[in-house]
Structure 1
Amino acid sequence: MNLNRNDQCWCGSGKKYKKCHIELDEKLDSLRAKGFHIPPRKLIKNKEQIEGIKESAKINNAVLDLVQEKIKIGMSTEEIDKIVHDFTVNSGAIPAPLNYGGFPKSVCVSINDVVCHGIPSNDTILQEGDIVNVDVSTIYNGYYSDASRMFMIGNVAEEDRKLVRVAKECLEKGFEAVRPWGFLGDIGAVIQEHAEVNGFSVVRSFGGHGVGLEFHEDPFVAHYGKKGEGMVLVPGMVFTIEPMINQGDYEVFVDEDDDWTVFTEDGGYSAQWEYTVLVTEEGAEIIAK
């Protein structure tokens, strides 16, 4: 779409193009001409959309805070689902996982060798020594946010505590690699390096994703790769970083019985933390955590 300087900007801000995204577009056109992978306009959020995502994230963060307060030995994962569902709905929001692609619950709870997409159940009880990922996603006024945290139940083995710690460090290093006019590959490169130097592997079948106007948007955010490769990071992009770090090999499989639960192939434990992040003019901002 070619716009004149006095036309309304394509982003939906209501401003004239010359007062909004014209300078950004000129820079993107220059990078595109040099062969760089440039995000399409639909991945660049305007101010109103960013504020909407942040409001959704306030609820998402509060849900995880509540889970952190309540989670304990002997609790069923179904109880965690009820905590998440009730708080989200009572806040005027919608749990994004519920009925998404047929997923039957309001939250993903993944324990030990479950990498992601664990389905809450009355039959799954938190035990001493478990490491647990609780992945919360929220829709509020049509805007989506997404984050997860790890929880260690009771007396956790030192090797498993290290896994949880290193997974968090991978997330933080990935976030620190986000900068305007950097590259998606910068994120994956630092995550892979930190995981592997600590003797762990990075799951490759799943990764982060764009989020905000939909649950899952482009781009796919790989947690492995090479610095300087991939899509250029542009102010206004919103996506998740959510490295899944395994004790053993990175290979995984999906449970044939429920078509959702993802396990490590070799039975080693897996840990994951997740942020929703915004690329800004100055660097990056954590929106949901």
Structure 2
Amino acid sequence: MTESVLIVDGMALLFRGYFASAYGGYIRRTSAGVPTNAVYGFTRYLLDAIRKFKPGYVVCCWDTPVKPFRTELYPAYKGNRPEAPDDLLPQFGLVRHVTDGLGIPNVELRGYEADDCIGTLAKRFADDREVYIVSGDHDLLQLVGPRTRVVLLKKGFGQYAVYDPETLLEEKQLRPEQIVDLKGLTGDASDNYPGVKGIGEKTAVKLLLEHDSIDGIIGNLDSLSGSVRKKIEADLDMLHLCRDLATIRCDVPLDCELDGCRWEPDEAVLRSKFLELEFESLMKEASGLLARIG
């Protein structure tokens, strides 16, 4: 059986790791006072995903501090995001120590988002491998394909929702490419773009089921109810813009090939990193995984 590829949405796992403990008021720290709760949570999620999906290759994608090209299209894009908590800031660098120790390449590119890097690598690797994308971001469902599964973290550690084309159609009533059109119609509050004012998800799904796509909807405006037609006509430019903002780019010029993503961590290096961060309990979990692939 051909070994699969695990593509990790680093920011999604890191933020989830931080808030999973911070909400309860607990910030894990080293004996020197360095905050590590986000990195610890990230590492737990990562090791569990590797244990669950047993990939032969692993790669981790990240956002960069530079504003993405989408802000040039729409300056308010993600403009509602608060600044990262002070306890999280030093952990953006620390988490790379863990991925380096695990022998996992970190992929990012100025001007693009982690989603674009994920989409590009998924398209590249799915030519001859099964690809699993681990995240908490539903936007990535547009990347689902015959050989690409999107794995969304659910509430409760180690719980996942795994989407292939059939599962997506059954649960969401939509094909992967229709996820983009759904976002174009409804917008995305977390990314701060509005879609068509007055069009919610229920109406948007109904329109897509009837007309297949945004282009199909626009080509059949005369068949829509008067109120829906007026809303779409009033926001046509925004509709097209939001569809563009929602589209994950799968042609990012990344210098990352499959051979460089083979998961062959060095236990001595990993042990050194984990001891530095005082992750003794996680070292036991990692050692167990390494023993299986050794």
Bigger helix share: 2
Bigger strand share: 1
Normalised to the residue count of structure 1, the TM-score between the two structures is 0.23
- Considering only CA atoms, is the larger Rg found in Structure 1 or Structure 2? 2
